[in-house]
Chains A and B, each alone.
Chain A
Amino acid sequence: MPAVMRAPLLAFLAVVPGVAAAAQGTAILYGSVTDSLGQPLRATVRVVGSPAMAVADGRGRYRLAVPAGRVIVRAGHIGFRSQVDTTTIAAGDSLERDYRLPASPVELQPTIVTAAKRSQLLDESATSVAVMNDTDLARRAVATVDEAVNRAPGVLFLNGQVNIRGSSGFVEGLGSRVLLLVDGVPANQGDRGGIDWDMVPLVDVERVEVVKGAGSSLYGSAAFGGVVNLITHDVPVGWHGRLRATGGAYANPPSEAWTFRDHTGGLGGLDVTGSYGTETLRGSLTLGGRHSDGYREQDRSDQWETAGRAEWLPRPGTRITASGAWTSHQYEVFPTWCVPDACIDSRGQAFQPFMIDTSGRGSYTRSNKGYLAATVDRTVSGAFAWRARGSWLRSHFTDYNPDDWSVSDRLGAELTGVLHAAGGDDRVVTVGMEGAHTAITSDIFGDSGRVGSHTQVDIGPYAEAEQRVGRVRLTAGLRLDDIVVDGARKATVLSPRVGAAIGSGVGTWRASAGRGFRAPTLAERYVTTRAFGFEVIPNPDLDPETAWSFELGNGASIASWGRLDAALFWTEARRLLEPTFVLDGGVQKIQIRNISRARLRGLDASLAVSSLVRGLTSSIAYLLVDARDLTTDSVLSFRPRHVLTLGTDYQWRMLSVGAEFRYTSRIERIELEPVFGRDPRVPARVLDLRASWQRGPLSARLLVANALNYIYNLVPRTLEPVRTASVVLTWTY
């Protein structure tokens, strides 16, 4: 069992009645963790030198079983200075200890669970990981998961498609070079391989971990450029509830020539979460809905969502979890903005970014998606734990104008064991086997434009070992994936990775080299449709695209006022799957092919500082990507060279204000350049302003996204969001 599950399991063990604890010479430590203003923190409370750990609930309360005698307790939370407390407690006794943590952005040593498929400290990872906790998510006052992930260092979204260090580019929704996990369960679509960011309500997400670089040695296909893991809230003991209401408005077009409606567009939503937990049984349920008028013509959307989680802790060391989510999303589709002849009325403009091409009028999509997952976590001893999971993921979309539909079901299973030699962390071995069976039925991905079905089976055994030698942690891992499509073996891919993390006087150095791959999706193999006036034809014989990723990085605290993390990265990609024009029967058509060799190299750096002014924190993140298409010796399409993010927040008592600015350099090259190359493209300069007030269980957060109402696009003829003002009111019980 990976320590990802071990941590909550140990937390569970901590709250089981002192019973077993007393029998083993242990005692109970309980209390609360708050910030300096008394606001509760979902902090981690752990016993130094022991695996004992608990996570505080939404009211900041924790309960922890500790060894009797003298113990050293560390209470920590990302963004706050940890407190270390030494106390003595007798076997069978209970002791209350409350902790107040002062804000400190340089205290960044969270526990992560994604980089090695087990629990480890951030500095122990040989690869770069960006972490956003619930405090970060709340401060941003965003409404969706993708908005939250978008501002992580090294991450950039292109029209909903996530890029980690320029990994994916933009491939019109077919395939993602980033793997999405929900509590460790793969959640990319079974047919297109893309990511439904609305799969899980944001209100249920406690933490997001972004692992950068090839992760196929543990996660297989799709982890070509990185992994995003959404970690949902544990269910606390007792009754708890949360109500979150959102309302806002979109700015009108800044020019009269672009006006497309006579009213201001709005957005709103409501999420309600309730949970109840005992020492052995816990459950939570979230219901929510949202509506948006959109900021462009034909851009309205309605979404209904539900998510639930049940936990059963039948005995110490065993935890059984069932979780699931279902989202129904109906949205109008804004295909491309219109140019004069394709507008109902272009008003003399060369392009109308808020109005749609008339050929796309009436385009509409109904998208239902969801998952169910069950996991069994078992800690056999301090040295060995295992985890088994089964999952079912469904996505079903129906497009109107053009009329297409697809249903995909992905059944997955995984068994993982984690062995800590001698019960410590000096030598850790992770071994597992993962399998998935995907079945799709579709007209667009079916049989040459007719309804058809396809299946894909992926089997991947893997192993990774970590050995500590003095200050150095060495890691080596390997995964072998076998991919079978419609009963025929299509590929066998070996994905090794080696790495090292070295503690030094100037922070922790990390280095890694690994191979990533992405198997073609069933959609890429069998798509038959029309795009941009051209027929798109299938290519069943596609091969996986592969890449070697190298990284050298360092994470270091700078005195007591800052923390710097920087990494040089280098990726050599081969046989990239890209849409290309082909001559078929004397007619130009579009087909996905293995065509490109590419090189992506650059710098991914971030600095967090707490200035001398109390309550003021700032951050800067910079991503430099030198992306070359080696096949054509040109710039790789859809990879901006520079992404710079500046942020600052000031907190005074219950109030805080902040700003964030992101600069994305002009995208130098796009796909289908002959068709869209003459369209205007500009760099993106987006300023977000935010303010919040929090008192006890109530909080109010204001976000003005794109406050300057900067008008820009990142992909052809697709306008990025205009200024959007929104207020989020939250009540937590």
Chain B
Amino acid sequence: MAICAAVALACNEGLQPTTAAPAIRGTVTYQGHLPDSLRDSTGAVLVVAFATFPQTPADLLHFAAVAFLDTGGPPRRYELRVPTGTYEWVLAVWEKKSNTELGPGNADSLLREVGFYRDAGDTTTHGTGRVHVGGTGTDSINFAIDFTNMHRICDYFPPCPP
């Protein structure tokens, strides 16, 4: 009787075929520790994907999607659900804790780029890590986050205010 009951429980269980959703997947590693001075002011760490590389500071606020991450520890796998297409910039962003809504006026003080995906051909500049997302998504979009090497928005759209 017990075996029959157990068998009934086992029917139609187990791993099932699962259709993959369009997404960018990969693993981020942490190369530098978050400075203690920023620990209390950290609002979030995000993975952000831009379909086209931002042309103006205002474009930076039109990202495709986000995923929340840790501020350190062992490598972490992420999945960023996005529409199919090509993405020119996949990066990690540190966001400062704030009571005000994020906008073009305060983006430079609230956001820092802390690492981005590069393809194998270039390890120095942004915008070369093009990611193609098909119907089942794409994997192995791996990159490092370095909290000791943060970049302000104005580094991309100079000049930086004093």
Chain A interface residues toward B at CB < 8 A: 255, 257-258, 339-342, 346, 348-351, 353, 533-534, 580-581, 583, 586-588, 620, 646, 648, 659, 661, 663, 672, 674-678, 680, 682-683, 685-687, 708, 710-713
Contact = CB atoms under 8 A, between A and B. Distances in A.
In the complex, which range does the number of interface residues on chain B fall in? 35 or more
Given A340-B137, A674-B75, A710-B10, A659 B3 contact: yes
Interface in B76-133: 76-77, 79
A581 B15 contact: no
Given A258-B17, A348-B19, A685-B6, A708 B11 contact: yes
A305 to B, nearest CB: 33
A349 B20 contact: yes
Contacts of A348: 19-20, 135-136
Contacts of A340: 20, 25, 136-139
B75 A682 contact: no
A620 to B, nearest CB: 7
Contacts of A687: 3, 6-7, 10
B73 interface: yes
Which of B6, B79, B137, B140 has the most chain A CB atoms inside 10 A of its CB?
B6
Interface stretch (B29-37, B38-46, B58-66, B154-162): B29-37
A357 to B, nearest CB: 10
A620 B1 CA distance: 12
**How would you classify the secondary structure of chain A's contact residues: helix, strand, loop or mixed?**
mixed
Which of B7, B17, B31, B142 has the most chain A CB atoms inside 10 A of its CB?
B17
B136 A350 contact: yes
A674 B75 CA distance: 6
B10 A708 contact: yes
Contacts of B55: none
A674 B74 contact: yes
Contact of B27 (A346, A663, A674): A674
B38 to A, nearest CB: 18
A581 B74 contact: yes
B154 to A, nearest CB: 26
B15 A711 contact: yes
A661 B7 contact: yes
A697 to B, nearest CB: 32
B123 to A, nearest CB: 14
24 contacts: A257-B17, A258-B17, A339-B25, A341-B137, A341-B140, A342-B139, A346-B136, A349-B20, A349-B136, A350-B19, A350-B21, A581-B73, A581-B74, A674-B76, A674-B77, A675-B77, A678-B77, A685-B6, A685-B13, A685-B14, A687-B6, A708-B7, A712-B14, A712-B15
Contacts of A255: 16-17
A80 B6 CA distance: 28
A676 B2 contact: no
B77 A682 contact: no
A349 B25 contact: no
Contacts of A680: 15, 18
Contacts of B32: 586
Contacts of B25: 339-341
Given A340-B20, A588-B31, A674-B74, 16 more contacts: A340-B136, A341-B139, A349-B18, A349-B19, A349-B136, A350-B18, A351-B18, A580-B74, A581-B73, A581-B75, A620-B2, A663-B9, A682-B14, A687-B7, A708-B7, A711-B14
A381 B31 CA distance: 69
B18 A586 contact: no
**Which 3 A-B residue pairings sit nearest by Cβ, starting from the closest?**
A341-B139, A685-B10, A581-B74
A588 B28 CA distance: 10
Contacts of B31: 583, 586-588
B27 A533 contact: yes
Nearest to A337: B15
Contact of A676 (B73, B77, B146): B77
A661 B3 contact: yes
Interface of B: 2-3, 6-7, 9-11, 13-21, 25, 27, 29-32, 73-77, 79, 135-140, 142, 146
Contacts of A342: 139-140
A7 to B, nearest CB: 37
A353 B15 CA distance: 9
Contacts of A353: 15
A648 B3 contact: yes
A534 B6 CA distance: 41
Nearest to A677: B77
Contact of A678 (B74, B79, B142): B79
Contacts of B19: 348-350
Nearest to A534: B75
B104 to A, nearest CB: 34
Given A620-B2, A685-B14, A350 B20 contact: yes
B76 to A, nearest CB: 4
Contact of A533 (B6, B16, B142, B146): B142
Contacts of B20: 340, 346, 348-350
A675 B15 contact: no
Which of B7, B13, B20 has the most chain A CB atoms inside 10 A of its CB?
B20
A675 B6 contact: no
Given A339-B25, A340-B139, A685-B14, A674 B73 contact: yes
Which of B11, B21, B75 has the most chain A CB atoms inside 10 A of its CB?
B75
A207 B154 CA distance: 74
B132 to A, nearest CB: 10
Contacts of B77: 674-678
Contacts of B27: 533, 674-675
B27 to A, nearest CB: 6
Nearest to B138: A341
A588 B10 contact: no
B9 A685 contact: yes
A710 B7 contact: no
Given A349-B17, A646-B6, A710-B14, A675 B139 contact: no
Contacts of A341: 25, 137-140
A255 B9 CA distance: 20
A678 B21 CA distance: 14
Given A341-B140, A349-B19, A588 B11 contact: no
Which of A587, A620, A708 has the most chain B CB atoms inside 10 A of its CB?
A708
Nearest to B30: A588
A685 B11 CA distance: 9
Contact of B13 (A346, A583, A676, A682): A682
Contacts of B9: 663, 685
A676 B78 CA distance: 10
A296 to B, nearest CB: 13
Contacts of B142: 533
Nearest to B70: A674
